[in-house]
Structure 1
């Protein structure tokens, strides 16, 4: 078996395994039910924004535990408290019967809880927010040291002996029960052996004394000990209803938290809205993919079919790999999947254009194929690594669905390296088998007149005007950031965002809110009958949410509330810091990598141009009034990778042409390089634009803050690659030259010619 068939068999096995892993995620439910249960479970998990449910971010308050501590000891105490809190939260949620909750640690003192299908998490929040520290105290005698604690109901205050005689650590079980004489709900508890022995000693020596049961610093009952209790069983009563008694029993069974938990972020999506977002994401994704595939066939005919085959395989392998990794697919994840398809086309276009160039130089079919892949390989690797730097930072500093976007993009980029370099090459070699002689002609229309052009386009003739225009637009954009400024969402300013669906008019809803005395803003959001209510941040968010729902339901009984986001001020401040840090680190990461791969002037030119691109995109956000949120940060980091990706291709060609003809004037080198890469630059930008366009037009407000900035950034990044980055590299090269800025005076553009 020759090398070709060995590769064919190897790649075929990888593809079959990958597509097999993707199949459960793609089959209709009726077909999937006929497959083995283990295979059915090997499918993508839908995020809460697609299936409905609630996302809670809990902060573990360790201030009291670590007060007075420092250094390593403080970190160990905090880590231990978070670890124990995680276990208690897990036990409490398991007791509630929530199906497949996700409970993970986030950062130093955060716990993320995701609850599929739970669209009213108030009871869960109450259960998780209670410390549930149980202790038993004797009442203090008058004139003795006492710890004064209030009753859980009423105004009575109990003087208790400071040290508890028993605590919840000795509790073995607790269950809801009913007092036989009164029928009132109670909590029946069972102590372990040590606790039973202590309880027997206490009740034996204190018959006739009041014995207080304290939960979270409040006395819930203080009965008088009538006789010794030796069986280790007891009863807690306190005027509970059945649900309160059941929840208390649940908390006692799950154990006490080592320190209080605070809900600092909440996001809830109803199942109907989640279903709509699935349909929207799938529809816009299919339309975007169809546009890309159609363009490739139109541009490269039968060679485009080869690229499309690799793209379809790429999409299947990405889904299969995500399913194998146990990844969760979110709405931003769908956007990342669509974008990764658009960006995967870049490698295929680059390869086709390189093969076209080599064939035009008279190489045979196989020779053009080999040379084209060899010349394209380094550029493909550079462009993918630069994008992965941005995506990696997005995963590191992102939260929730944004991390899902980062995972999807990263997997898509890695898989595209395999499909574009290995699978595409194998298919092309199979197409050319037997053609050892004769030149190769890639079919397709010569839209840019490249076949007839004998001289480069004079891009450098307008370099001054291009740089001045770019600077003016960037300065204007920075001015717009100062005033009127970005329309920041609750991710960055904190507060409550509630989506309201109702046929009532906005004036009717505003009158209802005004009558209730609530301060907030109500605006239209999406289609007719959809509104977004924003309430300021505060400690009483839950009360204001319920008041807002009541006020809106009073004027419009049919009102629905399919989505609710609550972000505390501490979380929003953290989002601001991490977002700025992520963008700065992305720029620094790009600079370091480009510095390793290129000369200093190339790296700095890319970074400066990137700053100009980002400033214009921020100006676009101000001009359009789009909400600036975490999804927008994902868009900006994506644009950082995309913009640098585009410039790497141009710089790589400039470096290559410089090596081939060192004596050629730099302006000519730049014009030649831009002309040679023009088709690739425009084709790549167009395919990525087409992939995202349906989501930008029909995706709705949920993804508008991602899709629209990306669409704008593609246009800005493409134009800056041609008119800003290359001239900037030339200026910086002269500036860094030992002879100073005046070195290397420009020679005539007539001194050379090149073919596209």
Structure 2
């Protein structure tokens, strides 16, 4: 209770800094801009689910890179052998082996050819300072029949893909900047993926086309005197290729690139007044202009093809030399498509093809609804928790509420300082923290009451309450923090947002519930000097309760075994209502603008679209409908076509799309696997921590009871048909922390009583420990429900399965921690220790501490 000036200064500084960092986020934009420059600017960013926008996860096309690289190697090999060394050859591509094969017309020139081809070797490196080190991209060999081979090494392919991702990010950023959007997020994910999030940009189709189109512009001479059909029938002339054209025909072109798009310095949408069509005008740099002039001068009367991403846009006849370094591209352009092509050409070509493997779009109006739902749930939860704490603890409840308010302020301040993104699950994490944050104060207060009942003075009881509850608070908070950390590193997108707010809430509550509350209690005690502490005014379970938990546990465990078997059996035979996160496909949320939705009519409108399995169900309000379409065979392009068909079919009945989510089979499989691994890692980490802090029996019992809670909760998804998606994994992992929070509190009291009552039979000791903590458990569980129920009722349909699972799981967690944990401890062999064993353990502990200090 001795408050040093240093501690008081820390509390004041943290509180002031928290208010300064958090407050600007809640002010209108015009007020934020008028704030003095020395004040911190708002750093909190709203996620796409709160402000609307588009989310794309793109993956480098591995097969496309290999195919393009083999084509380049084949062209370079032909140039080295035939043009530079006069060695005749026939080159074929073996795509299955990622190699080319070279058959020499004169086998005696093999060694000369082998030496010349070594010049193609390329050493790839991912660091700037690794001179002389790196990975060889090519491997040279020979087939049994004497043909030379040049293959791509696996390491070389991986390194090239990693390098191309870095280059692609810069091109994507340039393209998005050309669109004039604000605060886009472009992040690398691993060696092959790029995550793009563009707030406020609702046209995901246009965004996807602009971002994922390679836009590789090349100029080729058309092969004269032969059509593509004739060449295909007679055999392609050496060094030629056939490409489709925009008008549906095909062209026979020379393989060699006469001029590349990298020489462009500008491209603008324009209008050709003579033909009355939109065009794209372009301009070359000095070197490109000279090359363009030379090509057109030497080939007057020949056709010259302009190729974009291996499709011939136009192939006009060169009427006269073009020496000005500029020209125009004409085709079947609209004004919008001409503008988009100009954007692509100005930003430059992507170095590799990017496939969209995950796509999520949220309408701005839905984002506003999500904010309103989250705020409503938060306000209702706050009022209920604050009111209940005052009802239950009076002035002590006021102390807890002041700490709770500061806790929330510090969460927003930390989010703002980190520049973190606040998502709808993140708001749920804050609301959940409101219910969890008072747990530490309840632990402290209940400990004070026990100490006072044992005959200590008010001051002694206050000191003992803070000191003896601190270890339990640390243990319970750290087990929850483990789940939050695993969620952050194993999750993605909104789930990471939930993990961040949950983790920050756990850390800030450690500060506020102990340091800030103790400061308030100190000020109050110095002013009031009470002769007796009246801490609690209301409780669900009276003091002195002696419920025989161990006697009824056998019946309860039998019930749990039955429930576990039912949960596992239902999951095995019935399965789950898996969301698109785990099965792939497209989810489309639509809303009728002029009245309640008719689910039957929507099914009828979509029944003839030939999209495979289509599920239609009510969603949230009477105006909302959720349409789920199975993954289409043609990949993401086909999924986008399916969305367009749904939009067009429902537009006639006045439905508008508010949200779309498209997940490929590749991503869905990864998410399912990652979620499973995350749960296992969380359990292992917590097992290790509790084993370290307690004894192995406590660790095994904790993991057993937690596994029981997880099976019950997962069984709920199967039995009820709630959608099991990525948010469900977050609920499961959070339940790991919540369940262990209850288990750790009971286990900590059992451990304490083992030292205090060494002669008491173990079943009686466990009953005593549970009855001593049951008042605290009932109160904290009730405050948690006060936070969760508003999330269920007002948090919105997107979080419905998440919040229902959390509510059910928290109740099951309390039940297992109170009734099941004790018998499991006995079955795992927990025993009373004699005085000699306790003394030996204490000596060993002191010796370890002394050894550590000497080191």
Q: CA deviation at 1:262?
A: 1.3
2:697: which partner in 1? 601
Structure showing greater radius of gyration is: 2
1:553 deviates by: 2.3
What is the Cα deviation at residue 102 of structure 1? 1.6
1:107 to 178, 190, 202: 190
The answer to whether the 8 A contact 1:606-1:647 is kept is yes
Q: TM-score, normalised by structure 1?
A: 0.92
Tell me the TM-score normalised to structure 2 length.
0.82
1:750 corresponds to: none
Residues 189, 407 of structure 1: CA spacing in aligned structure 2 closer, same or farther, 3 A cutoff? same
Corresponding residue number in structure 1 for 2:7? 7
CA displacement 1:555-584 (0-9 Å, x = unmatched): x1x212212111111111111111111111
Aligned-residue offset at 1:629 = 0.8
Q: 2:46, 2:422 within 8 Å by CA — same for their partners in 1?
A: yes
Q: Secondary structure at the match of 2:562?
A: helix
**2:377 matched to which residue of 1?**
284
Match of 2:655 in 1: 559
CA distance, structure 1, for counterparts of residue 530 and residue 736 of structure 2: 44
| Contact 2:539-2:775 within 8 A present in 1 as well | no
Inter-CA distance 440–414: structure 2 relative to 1 (3 Å threshold): same
1:307 match = 400
Deviation digits for residues 684-709 of structure 1 (CA, Å, limit 9, x no counterpart): 11111111111112333211111111
Report the secondary structure of 1:445's partner residue: coil
**Matched residues in 2 for 1:79 and 1:132: separation?**
20
SS at match of 1:393: helix
- Report the secondary structure of 1:229's partner residue: coil
Which of 350, 362, 365 is equivalent to 2:458?
A: 365
1:499 pairs with one of 580, 584, 589? 589
Structure 2 distance, partners of 1:70, 1:348, is 61
Give, in whole Å, the separation in 1 of the partners of 2:459 and 2:211: 66
- Aligned partners of 1:71, 1:158: CA distance in 2, in Å? 34
Superposed displacement of residue 438, structure 1:
4.5
Distance in 2, Cα, partners of 1:128 & 1:363: 70
1:385 lines up with 2:510 in the alignment: no
Task: Report if the CA contact (8 A) 1:397-1:579 is conserved.
Answer: yes
After superposition, give the CA deviation of every residue in 1:66-105 in whole Å (9 maximum; x if it has no partner): 6565565443222111111111111111111223222112
CA distance in 1, matches of 2:801, 2:7: 43
Match of 1:678 in 2: 774
Query: C-alpha displacement at 1:529, in angstroms?
Result: 2.6
Give the distance between the partners of 1:266 and 1:309, measured in 2 at CA: 42
The correspondence of residues 439-454 of structure 1 with structure 2, limited to 5 A, is 439-450=532-543, 453=544
**Which region of structure 1 is more displaced relative to structure 2, 235-244 or 421-430?**
235-244
Match of 1:752 in 2: none
1:206 aligns with 2:299: yes
Q: Which residue of 1 aligns with 2:795?
A: 699
Q: C-alpha deviations, 1:408-455, integer Å up to 9, x for none?
A: 1111111111101211111111111267795534242354221xx2x7
What is the DSSP-based 3-state SS (H/G/I as helix, E as strand, rest coil) of the residue aligned with 1:433?
helix
Change (3 A) 1:727 1:277: same
- 1:465 partnered with 2:559: no
Counterpart Cα distance in 2 of 1:729 and 1:367: 33
Equivalenced residues, count: 731
Of residues 431, 434, 458, the one that matches 1:338 is 431
Q: What is the aligned partner in structure 2 of residue 356 from structure 1?
A: 449
Q: Which residue of 1 aligns with 2:648?
A: 550
- For structure 1, the residue ranges without an aligned partner over 5 or more in a row are 738-756
Secondary structure, counterpart of 2:621 in structure 1: coil
d(CA) in 2 for partners of 1:136 and 1:551? 41
Superposition CA RMSD, Å: 2.2
Offset at residue 266 of structure 1 (A): 1.6
- Out of 337, 341, 360, which is 1:248 matched to? 341
- What is aligned with 1:744? none
**2: distance between equivalents of 1:127 and 1:27?**
35
Contact 1:355/1:372 (8 A) holds in 2: yes
CA apart distance, 1:511:
2.1
Give the aligned partner of residue 743 of structure 1: none
Match of 1:536 among 626, 630, 650: 630
SS in 1 for 2:394: helix
Mapped partners of 1:354, 1:282: distance in 2:
34
Distance 2:41 2:7 in 1: 31
Shift of 1:516: 4.0
Q: Structure 1 residues 96 and 446, CA, compared in 2 at 3 Å: closer, same or farther?
A: closer
Residue 136 of structure 1 aligns with which residue? 219
Question: Is 563-572 or 29-38 further displaced after alignment?
Answer: 29-38
Q: Give the match's secondary structure for 1:689.
A: helix
Distance (Å, rounded) in 1 between the aligned partners of 2:397 and 2:527: 21
2:728 to 628, 632, 640: 632
Report the CA distance between 1:316 and its aligned residue: 0.8
Distance 1:271 1:183, change over 3 A: same
Aligned-partner SS, 1:332: helix
2:616 aligned partner: 522
Q: Which runs of 5+ in 2 are unaligned?
A: 67-97, 99-150, 227-235, 834-855
Counterpart Cα distance in 1 of 2:181 and 2:832: 63
2:686 is the alignment partner of 1:590:
yes
What is the CA–CA distance in structure 2 between the aligned matches of 1:224 and 1:73, rounded to whole Å? Answer: 41
Question: CA-to-partner distance for each residue in 1:515-560, whole Å, 9 max, x for gaps?
Answer: 4444412112222232111111112111221112222223x1x212
Partner of 1:570: 666
Q: Distance in 2 between matches of 1:497 and 1:474?
A: 32
Trace 1:118-129 onto structure 2 (pairs within 5 A). 118-129=201-212
Q: Which residue of 2 aligns with 1:712?
A: 808
- Cα distance, 1:315 vs. partner? 0.7
Distance in 2 separating the partners of 1:571 and 1:125 = 17
Indicate yes or no: 2:200 matched with 1:117.
yes
Does residue 268 (structure 1) correspond to residue 358 (structure 2)? The answer is no
Q: CA deviation at 1:258?
A: 1.5
Matched, 1:645 2:741: yes
Deviations 1:390-418 (A, max 9, x none): 11111112121111111111111111111
Inter-CA distance 434–284: structure 2 relative to 1 (3 Å threshold): closer
